Structure 1
């Protein structure tokens, strides 16, 4: 499903991050662990198609991610990779359901309203579908972010520090939600974190 080979990134100023090789099978759940500054966000950006590595290869379902043109990359990322950021990045002028619509549109896919409503129902935010981001609580915004990441039925769900600003109860709820939604949607899950509270919930670990 996901293969990282001989991957490294060189930042201006001389900093070099070398990443151990990794293979993640379809529907597997992994934690990406490391202290602040270890390269977690760099790797997440590389796997998301947002940062081209200096050397090495990233394969997703056998497709060399950085062998794609920019146009191909945008379509591939939109259709095959779902991203949950530390803080929600929703369009404030659009309702919840419209934010899901635009995620499908930007990937060049047909809107699947039945799937959208099913996601919102499973995340307990169906009643908020016509509300705007400013009308939602932080917990609801996080759930909408998960729904948007899954709306195009991706093969890979990436979450970058999704529990760092949450209390214990909400941290457990979020990691449980990510696991359940990835499983229900047939996606592999990779969670970048330094949060030791959620480590017992996912057994596979990739250390930086």
Structure 2
């Protein structure tokens, strides 16, 4: 199945990812074609082993496909050296993970400023403070991760991912380790990033409630895009489509 839109922030063309060789080879992605439009929120779902995390990792330049082409913001990742790929990720890609991945020894404001410093840019006056205020943590700027709740840590991670205003924000199960209240706040921030700042968000999730915040839901099975939901009506519709997919998997 080919997913196409007008204008693309992320493009995958015939992307396959095979792990191992010979009889032990496992095909995680099988000739996937996907276009993700700018300023949209896309959720990626599927049964365990369907390839959703592999799709995100290849799309984000964290893993190299066995075959096919990945483009981010019009730049092909094919053939880029590791140094060039790292530079592109720092400039054009933001990441949010289930495990937060904050630096324990750094304060919230230092964690948020880190991508700017890695890119060789000194944060402008008030830039980091503004990002923390945007995620509701202005009063926690000098707290270290151990002094923050899980939800607060994830909000710092979102501020860190967005501070460079990347072309795409990739989120891998961002609510997986959070309670209901914290999950809602994280999803609200991701939705706001799209609606207010025209960011592009691609989120892997197992949760139909989380996926219901997206503009489009890609349902994967056996390494392929098996179904697509545009503007889902809510979590129940997504859950039904997932159940059908699992029945035929």
TM-score higher than 0.5: yes
Residue 137 to residue 62, structure 1, CA distance change in 2 (3 Å): same
Partner residue, 2:10: 2
> Bigger radius of gyration, 1 or 2?
2
Deviates more, 1:7-16 or 1:113-122: 113-122
In the alignment, what sits opposite 2:66? 54
- The answer to whether 1:204 aligns with 2:216 is yes
Distance 1:106 1:198 in 2: 31
| In 1: Cα distance, 2:41 partner to 2:110 partner | 29
Q: Which stretches in structure 2 are left out of the alignment for 5+ residues?
A: 1-8, 221-249
The counterpart of 2:19, out of the listed 11, 14, 26, is 11
Deviation, structure 1 residue 7: 0.3
Task: Give the deviation of 1:66 after TM superposition.
Answer: 3.0
TM-score (norm 1): 0.93
1:110 to 122, 127, 137: 122
Q: Is the 8 A contact 1:44 1:192 kept in 2?
A: yes
Is residue 38–residue 199 contact of structure 2 (8 Å, CA) maintained in 1? yes
- Matched residues, number: 208
Give the deviation of 1:46 after TM superposition: 1.2
Alpha-carbon RMSD? 1.5
Change (3 A) 1:153 1:203: closer
Counterpart contact for 1:82–1:150, Cα < 8 Å: yes
Superposed counterparts of 1:164-179, under 5 Å? 164-179=176-191
TM-score, with length taken from structure 2: 0.79
Aligned position for 2:141:
129
Partners of 1:157 and 1:182 within 8 A in 2: no
Runs of 4+ in structure 1 over 4 Å off = none
Residues 112 and 67 of structure 1, relative CA distance in 2, 3 Å threshold: farther
Q: Is the 8 A contact 2:151 2:183 kept in 1?
A: no
Does residue 80 of the first structure (1) align with residue 92 of the second (2)? yes
Structure 1 residue runs without a partner (length 5+): none
**1:36: Cα distance to partner?**
1.7
2:131 to 119, 122, 135: 119
What's the offset of the Cα at 1:10? 0.4
1:24 alignment partner, one of 36, 39, 56: 36
- The Cα shift of 1:11 comes to 0.6
